[in-house]
């Protein structure tokens, strides 16, 4: 199946994944759970169980994780830290989150590798495109940390870039709402969810999917994005099996 073509309902077989290789984008906030900061053990374990379940279906899974639950470079103004330094701190926070996910997955018996865009050999393998692909081909879950390794680029952009590099078929953007809305559903009671939309709609309407750099990169390479609610148990599996979950962003 070409990555530029949406999955048709007739092509979906019950219990059979519709994607061979994917990138799951997790925000740092998705790991903080109900405590509102840091790393919440039960939440990380729940995410790990869902990822392991998808991996067991034979889906090659790469995870790009953010660091906003620990430190977000774009929110550092009150600390008077220079932007490049603050972004570097944020990238290190993603490595901490990656280690937490690695531990949770390995405790489930899931072979996992942590690759970092910033070299730190004692903690993670360096990101090498062919190495990442080889790990995926061997059935290992690959956690991609430290963003792109460069300041001024978000982990959304890192997810888009890595998806192209490892030849993923789709980006699954995990959020805490059901999909893409025409207004913030946490603030606007009558906000409407949009099931299908194009990259240009996202950019022109300024919709909160991924940042504009990431969306443009996906548009240029026809990489589909599925935005879904991570807080609903089983949603990752449902997306992978082709069920109608969340919002899909494609060229059409």
Predicted local confidence at residue 79, as pLDDT: 73
8, pLDDT greater than 90: no
Predicted local confidence at residue 9, as pLDDT: 42
Question: Considering the entire predicted model, what is its pTM?
Answer: 0.90
Predicted local confidence at residue 197, as pLDDT: 93
Is 155 inside any structural domain? yes
29-66: per-residue pLDDT in tens?
999 999 989 999 999 999 999 999 999 999 999 999 99
Residue bearing the bigger pLDDT, 122 or 73? 122
14, pLDDT greater than 70: no
Predicted local confidence at residue 73, as pLDDT: 61
| CB-count exposure of residue 210 (10 Å: 0-12, 13-18, 19+) | buried
Is 2 inside any structural domain? no
Pick from 39, 64, 170, 164: nearest CA to 117: 64
Domain that holds residue 48: 13-250
Mean pLDDT across 1-10: 40
Is 8 inside any structural domain? no
Is 4 inside any structural domain? no
pLDDT level of residue 78 (50, 70, 90 thresholds): low
Predicted local confidence at residue 21, as pLDDT: 98
Predicted local confidence at residue 1, as pLDDT: 34
Are 237 and 54 within 8 A, CB to CB? yes
Pick from 201, 202, 166, 237: nearest CA to 23: 166
Is 5 inside any structural domain? no
130-185: per-residue pLDDT in tens?
999 999 999 999 999 999 999 999 999 999 999 999 999 999 999 999 999 988 88
Are 185 and 191 within 8 A, CB to CB? yes
How many helices and strands (H and E) does the chain possess?
A: 7, 11
Predicted local confidence at residue 148, as pLDDT: 97
Is 121 inside any structural domain? yes
Pick from 208, 58, 45, 64: nearest CA to 127: 64
Report the number of distinct structural domains present in the chain.
Answer: 1
Mean pLDDT across 192-212: 91
Mean pLDDT across 81-92: 92
Q: 170-175 and 225-229: which strand pairing? A: parallel
117-131: per-residue pLDDT in tens?
999 999 999 999 999
Predicted local confidence at residue 4, as pLDDT: 38
The total of other beta-carbon atoms located within 10 Å of residue 29's CB is 16
Is 218 inside any structural domain? yes
| C-alpha pair distances (Å), 243 with each of 18, 56, 124, 185, 247 | 10, 18, 35, 22, 11
Is 7 inside any structural domain? no
Domain containing residue 135: CATH number? 3.40.1160.10
């Amino acid at each position: 199946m070409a990555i530029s073509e949406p999955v048709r309902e007739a092509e979906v077989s019950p219990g059979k994944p519709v994607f061979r290789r994917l990138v799951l984008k997790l925000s740092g906030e998705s790991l903080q759970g109900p405590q509102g900061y840091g790393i919440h053990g039960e939440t990380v374990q729940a995410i790990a169980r869902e990822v392991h379940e998808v991996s067991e279906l034979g889906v090659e899974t790469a995870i790009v994780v953010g660091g906003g639950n620990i430190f977000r470079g774009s929110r550092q103004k009150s600390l008077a830290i220079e932007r490049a330094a603050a972004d570097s701190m944020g990238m290190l926070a993603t490595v901490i989150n990656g280690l937490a996910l690695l531990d949770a997955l390995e405790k489930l018996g899931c072979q996992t590798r942590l690759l970092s865009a910033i070299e730190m050999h004692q903690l993670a393998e360096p990101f090498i495109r062919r190495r990442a692909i080889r790990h995926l081909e061997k059935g290992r879950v690959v956690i991609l940390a430290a963003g792109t390794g460069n300041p001024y680029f978000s982990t959304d952009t890192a997810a888009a870039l890595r998806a192209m590099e490892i030849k993923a078929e789709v980006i699954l953007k995990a959020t805490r709402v059901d999909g893409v809305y025409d207004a913030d559903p946490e603030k606007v009671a009558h906000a409407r969810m949009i099931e299908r939309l194009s990259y240009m709609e996202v950019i022109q309407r300024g919709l909160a999917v991924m940042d504009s750099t990431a969306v443009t990169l996906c548009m240029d390479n026809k990489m589909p994005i599925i935005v879904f609610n991570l807080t609903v148990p089983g949603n990752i599996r449902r997306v992978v099996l082709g069920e109608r979950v969340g919002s899909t962003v494609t060229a059409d």
